[in-house]
Amino acid sequence: MAELHIEGLERRFGSGKPALDGISFDVAEREFVFLLGPSGAGKTTTLRLTAGLDHPDAGRILLGGRDMAGIAPRERNVAMVYDKHSLYPHLNVFENMAYPLRLRGLTDADMKARIDRTSEILGIGQLLDRRPGQLSGGQQQRVAIGRALVRDASIYLMDEPISHLDAKLRAHMRVEFKKLQREFAATILYVSHDQLEAMTMGDRIIVLDQGRVQQIGTPRDIYDRPANRFVAEFVGEPAMNTLTCDLMQDGTGWKAVSQDFAVHLDVAWVQRHGLQNRKPGKVVLGLRPQHLTLVPSEDTGQPNVEDGRVYAVETLGSETVYDIEIGGTVLRLWSRRQADGRPLPAIGAPLHFRVNPQALHLFD
């Protein structure tokens, strides 16, 4: 039985588009599930409904098999991470974390063990006797996370809990959060707009946009087989290139012709997508920047080698991202740093790259 079961949830504020337009998903016991989507997708609304802070216009929420309609927030046994401003200013960090445990009657020894472990992982172990006012914003936020995680809840609801921390601390917290979740065998529904967080931490990801579920799957499913163009462009760094093409028969094979160049398609790929039975017409192809490869100029003229010019180049130490201009099209290409240490090409310099036709994505 799913710990959290959400079915046909709708929520409308005023007359415009609904904030939630009939979403359904499950979170299994001990699962770490991400609700991923851009700002305004309906993520916070979903958490608030689950916590009982707001009420749906339609649909059902079951927690541990029990229908939550009419059940008050305090009776739901959910722990929600609010932001740092919800800490009690007159209590020190230990007492802030102990508060929800005392309410549940834990023994002092159990309470101390749980607080020690949680605060150690969150890196706030040495701050236990300080008050919130004596902590930095990032430290306060970690205390707020700790206060939610120390208590035993059937599900933990987290709304972008680390998005305000600086980049280095965020990277540390991604790893630690995952460890903490395993160690406490916690069931977590975690809201984020950051695909990197979802990809690295989530057991499964629910991609939400405009109040609708776009796809549900493991990070790998979502990355390798995005269900639609929105998911394809939202997940993956740098973002997937998309190209509108005409699909045409080319002798015995197939090609996709965009305004600026043609891609010869792989026969197995065409069959896998059932294109051999299809009338010629427009399709949208997706090409991940990782699936375009720089090749030497001698390779020009080979199948699927294109000639372009450097539009922009961005180097990140061990990797380089090229924006390559081919006529009126700009494609992004991701590459490891050249092993021979040659300098980066100048803006406008000619560049040759190969498209891997087996790695193409197809969208209608």
Residue 15's binding partner among Mg ion, ligand ADP, none (Cβ under 5 to 8 angstroms by kind) is none
Cα(320)–Cα(314) distance, integer angstroms: 6
The least distance separating ligand ADP from the CB of residue 202, rounded to whole angstroms, comes to: 16
Choose between 40 and 123: whose C-beta lies nearer to ligand ADP. 40
Residues that bind ligand ADP (CB under 6 A): 13, 19, 37, 39-45
Task: Give backbone dihedrals phi and psi of 189, rounded to 5 degrees, phi first.
Answer: -110, 115
The H-or-E segment that residue 6 falls in is strand 4-11
The least distance separating ligand ADP from the CB of residue 51, rounded to whole angstroms, comes to: 13
The least distance separating Mg ion from the CB of residue 211, rounded to whole angstroms, comes to: 13
Residue 308's binding partner among ligand ADP, Mg ion, none (Cβ under 5 to 8 angstroms by kind) is none
The least distance separating ligand ADP from the CB of residue 55, rounded to whole angstroms, comes to: 12
Does residue 210 belong to the site contacting Mg ion (CB under 5 A)? no
Contacts of 349 (CB under 8 A, 6+ apart): 309, 310
Cα(334)–Cα(76) distance, integer angstroms: 47
Choose between 44 and 92: whose C-beta lies nearer to Mg ion. 44
Binding to Mg ion in span 35-74, by CB under 5 A: 43-44
| CB half-sphere exposure, 254, CA atoms < 13 A | 24
Choose between 52 and 289: whose C-beta lies nearer to Mg ion. 52
Residue 45's binding partner among Mg ion, ligand ADP, none (Cβ under 5 to 8 angstroms by kind) is ligand ADP
Residue 287's binding partner among ligand ADP, Mg ion, none (Cβ under 5 to 8 angstroms by kind) is none
The least distance separating ligand ADP from the CB of residue 18, rounded to whole angstroms, comes to: 8
Query: In terms of DSSP bridges, do strands 253-257 and 78-81 run parallel, antiparallel, or are they unpaired?
Result: unpaired
Instruction: Let me know the angle formed at the C-alpha of 183 by 177 and 186, rounded to the nearest 5 degrees.
Output: 75
The residue sitting closest to Mg ion, measured at its beta carbon, is 44
Using CB under 5 A, count the residues that bind Mg ion.
2
Nearest to 199 by CA among 229, 253, 235, 249: 235
List residues bridging with 9 in a β-sheet.
Answer: 23
